[in-house]
Structure 1
Amino acid sequence: MPSALAATALESSSVVGPDVVALAPATLAGVGVGLTDALAWISIGAFMIALLCQWRGATDPARRIGAVAWLLFGIFWLTMVPYYYYEMQSPLQTVLSLAALPLCAYTGYLLVGGRESLLILTKAVAFMGLIYLPAETIPVFRTWLIETTAAQTHYGMELLGYSPGLSEGAYGYESRFDFDPDETVTGRTTYIILACTGIGSMAIFGGLVAAVSAPLKRKATAFAAAIGIIWFLNLARNVFIGLASPWGWFQQDWLVSFMTTYMGAEASRVSFLVAHNYIAQSLSVIALVGITYLVVRIVPEVLAPLEEVLYILSGSEYDLFEALGKEEYRPEGEGVDTGPTAD
């Protein structure tokens, strides 16, 4: 669950795909991708049914259906493991996707066991899916996002004095930076994929803001601020990795030796992997924390689903509203259950 959300965020901030990638196993073939998309839509559909039941006052069915939705959501992330491990070669994303299934299953267990407060987190994930899945599964949206991001990234490169041009990249999109392999250090280039558009991180904050009850003006302000920052930082990462890969900014001999010997990397991909999997992803975590802080300042009500995330991760109750002096924003009737008290 929280790992699943983190994996989505990291995927969206993974900025560029390598120009040449190793073939992944059959789970990444057309049938596997179709299964993954189907699991995503089914799980989000189940989340929405659970919320409909809650809205109609049927709390017990809402909890049971929500538990099934969480389990399906965890299985969805499990199907993403081969992609992260074989194609993206990202240890962090692989571990997060593996951790998602037990965490999602545990969330479902808590829901069935009576933790009704988890329905607000269920609502947040449902809205995240409604924002993200159309871009993932509807071709016209996906094409527009990828090609627009590629054009904006190319403009960013031009501002730094590079103008490689764009050509057809993976899956037929005009998204490949057309560097001349005879002129660059590594002979490689990169292309934009959906994960480069920032849509995953945008979906996370959009879902959190949409799930809580707060004045529309504050919610719109928080959403606009989060989207604007994510767009700018994601564009900067696109430019950084898009230049680091062909021009070999991290092709130092000692680093190439380490990555090829201990990490199984191709020598020509070292600069890409260092820039993409280590520098960009580490910075994305810091950026997500900062954006979360900003959103909480504008819409403190999002602390409610964040408290549920902390409970699932730690098994302990946290009162973030009290800790941050935001008690007046706590949803009516909700609070931290500290257990029975002695007379």
Structure 2
Amino acid sequence: MPALPTSPVVFGAVLESVTAGSVPATPAAVSIGSIPLSDSLAWIAIGAFVAAMIFEWRGAVDPARYVAASAWVIFGVFWLTMAPHYYLEVKSPIETLLTVAALPLCVYTGYLLVQGRESLLLLSRAVAFMGIIYLPAETIPFVRTWLIETTAAQTHFGMELFGYSPGIEEGINGYQSRFAFDPDETVTGRTTYIIMSCTGIGSMAIFGGLIAAVKGPLKRKVAAFTLAIGVIWFLNLVRNVFIGLASPWGWFQQDFLVYIATEFMSAPADRTSYIVAHNFIAQSLSIIALLGITYLVVRILPEVLEPLEDVLYVLTGSEYDLADALGQEVRADGGSTAETASAATESEAADGPTGISESEIER
């Protein structure tokens, strides 16, 4: 399960690079061998998060805290089992570090829940909704096939806009998702194919979970969700096209980059463009994009700031007031103080400078 979204920064897309006409070797086999364990841990963790959410809804806060704490520990173990995949197969320093760091962070989150930090139940509820969105897409075959092959078709259309039309063929994952560039005509002789992580469903689940978990007017929640999904879909498509062209056409095959990829990452020289495009440029920009999308969502649905403040507390040990920092405090009725100030201004304008309304003057 490549990208269940809950580590602090995950944009959730990976394009696997393969030499045209060849099959990846040992790292892929190691990764495939660990998938059943990872899937089992993910389902157990999400099931526990859902159970904690049910306890909380029924008013049993203490049982909810303990069940959620157990869920966080299992979730951390899940991420640790994914570290070999990201290190050996994907060769992604960012994702490897995140998966390794996830275990202590998740255990610490569980510890805080046991110690009585009830606000983390909201973050736990968000993760439950994330799993509800992501796991069916990951594990139901026809949904998975549709997502992968639709993303491949859309990416191919994007390539055609730039004058490339390689066609799509079956990849080693069994889906019609491999871009059929002729290895004799490209610079590196390599191509890419779409996997589940390339669909952007991981990032969509992050925002879907956060938006579903918080309390707020339905209209604003729908608006925030629509905005987030639309932006993620577009940026994900742009990135897939970028990586899908950079890898075969060797956009980053400069000598110093080849040296870094071969000497420090033990990668084949002809895979350099893929590694630079995907692991460094795309993933770094994904972090910036994630922060930008979060800002846009917060402007519509400031209630989302509450679980984000708890994420920062887990990471730093310090309390933060993000609403105050952004000048957008959340009211108890689901609005913001900016709306209150606007309403007050309109009322004063109607009443006049003395605070007496025109109707009172007429009387």
Query: What is the TM-score with the length of structure 1 in the denominator?
Result: 0.92
The verdict on how the C-alpha distance between 1:331 and 1:321 changes in structure 2, with shifts beyond 3 A counting, is: farther
Shift of 1:83: 0.6
Which range moves more in the overlay, 104-113 or 252-261?
A: 252-261
Whether the 8 Å contact between 2:312 and 2:320 is mirrored in structure 1 is: yes
Question: Where does residue 229 of structure 1 map in the other structure?
Answer: 231
Question: Where does residue 349 of structure 2 map in the other structure?
Answer: none
Pairing partner for 1:23 from 23, 26, 35: 26
| 1-structure distance, mates of 2:223, 2:325 | 24
Alignment-mate amino acid for residue 290 of structure 1: G
Question: Where does residue 339 of structure 1 map in the other structure?
Answer: none
Pairing partner for 1:41 from 21, 40, 43: 43
| 1-structure distance, mates of 2:279, 2:183 | 23
Question: Where does residue 151 of structure 1 map in the other structure?
Answer: 153
Alignment-mate amino acid for residue 316 of structure 1: S
Q: Which runs of 5+ in 2 are unaligned?
A: 335-363
| 1-structure distance, mates of 2:105, 2:31 | 24
Whether the 8 Å contact between 1:4 and 1:97 is mirrored in structure 2 is: no
Question: Where does residue 290 of structure 2 map in the other structure?
Answer: 288
Whether the 8 Å contact between 2:252 and 2:273 is mirrored in structure 1 is: yes
Alignment-mate amino acid for residue 16 of structure 2: G
Shift of 1:256: 1.1
CA deviations on 1:171-194 (whole Å, 9 max, x unpaired) are 210000000001000000000001
Shift of 1:27: 4.9
Whether the 8 Å contact between 1:25 and 1:82 is mirrored in structure 2 is: no
Question: Where does residue 69 of structure 1 map in the other structure?
Answer: 71
Aligned residue pair count: 327
CA deviations on 1:59-104 (whole Å, 9 max, x unpaired) are 1100000000000100110110011011100011000000000000
RMSD: 1.7
Shift of 1:23: 1.9
Alignment-mate amino acid for residue 133 of structure 2: I
Question: Where does residue 10 of structure 2 map in the other structure?
Answer: 9
| 2-structure distance, mates of 1:107, 1:258 | 37
The verdict on how the C-alpha distance between 1:83 and 1:330 changes in structure 2, with shifts beyond 3 A counting, is: farther
Question: Where does residue 299 of structure 1 map in the other structure?
Answer: 301
Question: Where does residue 251 of structure 2 map in the other structure?
Answer: 249
Question: Where does residue 105 of structure 1 map in the other structure?
Answer: 107
Shift of 1:264: 1.5
Shift of 1:169: 0.5
| 2-structure distance, mates of 1:287, 1:330 | 30
Whether the 8 Å contact between 1:209 and 1:302 is mirrored in structure 2 is: yes
Whether the 8 Å contact between 2:8 and 2:311 is mirrored in structure 1 is: no
Whether the 8 Å contact between 1:8 and 1:200 is mirrored in structure 2 is: no
CA deviations on 1:282-303 (whole Å, 9 max, x unpaired) are 0000000000000000000000
| 2-structure distance, mates of 1:331, 1:61 | 28
The verdict on how the C-alpha distance between 1:110 and 1:87 changes in structure 2, with shifts beyond 3 A counting, is: same
Alignment-mate amino acid for residue 148 of structure 1: T
Shift of 1:7: 6.7
Residue 177 of structure 2 aligns to a residue whose secondary structure is: strand
Larger Rg: 2
| 1-structure distance, mates of 2:267, 2:69 | 40
Shift of 1:262: 2.5
Alignment-mate amino acid for residue 230 of structure 1: I
Whether the 8 Å contact between 2:73 and 2:107 is mirrored in structure 1 is: yes
Query: What is the TM-score with the length of structure 2 in the denominator?
Result: 0.87
| 1-structure distance, mates of 2:48, 2:264 | 43
Whether the 8 Å contact between 1:8 and 1:201 is mirrored in structure 2 is: no
- Are residue 80 (structure 1) and residue 82 (structure 2) matched? yes
| 2-structure distance, mates of 1:131, 1:330 | 28
Alignment-mate amino acid for residue 62 of structure 1: A
Whether the 8 Å contact between 1:27 and 1:33 is mirrored in structure 2 is: no
Whether the 8 Å contact between 2:73 and 2:110 is mirrored in structure 1 is: yes
The verdict on how the C-alpha distance between 1:146 and 1:25 changes in structure 2, with shifts beyond 3 A counting, is: closer
Question: Where does residue 179 of structure 2 map in the other structure?
Answer: 177
The verdict on how the C-alpha distance between 1:17 and 1:26 changes in structure 2, with shifts beyond 3 A counting, is: closer
Residue 327 of structure 2 aligns to a residue whose secondary structure is: coil
Shift of 1:140: 0.9
| 1-structure distance, mates of 2:242, 2:264 | 25
The verdict on how the C-alpha distance between 1:28 and 1:259 changes in structure 2, with shifts beyond 3 A counting, is: closer
The verdict on how the C-alpha distance between 1:189 and 1:282 changes in structure 2, with shifts beyond 3 A counting, is: same
Q: Which runs of 5+ in 1 are unaligned?
A: 333-343
CA deviations on 1:96-136 (whole Å, 9 max, x unpaired) are 00000000000000000000010000000110111111111
Q: Among the aligned pairs, what percent are the same residue?
A: 67
Alignment-mate amino acid for residue 193 of structure 1: I
Residue 6 of structure 2 aligns to a residue whose secondary structure is: helix
Residue 5 of structure 1 aligns to a residue whose secondary structure is: coil
Whether the 8 Å contact between 1:301 and 1:331 is mirrored in structure 2 is: no
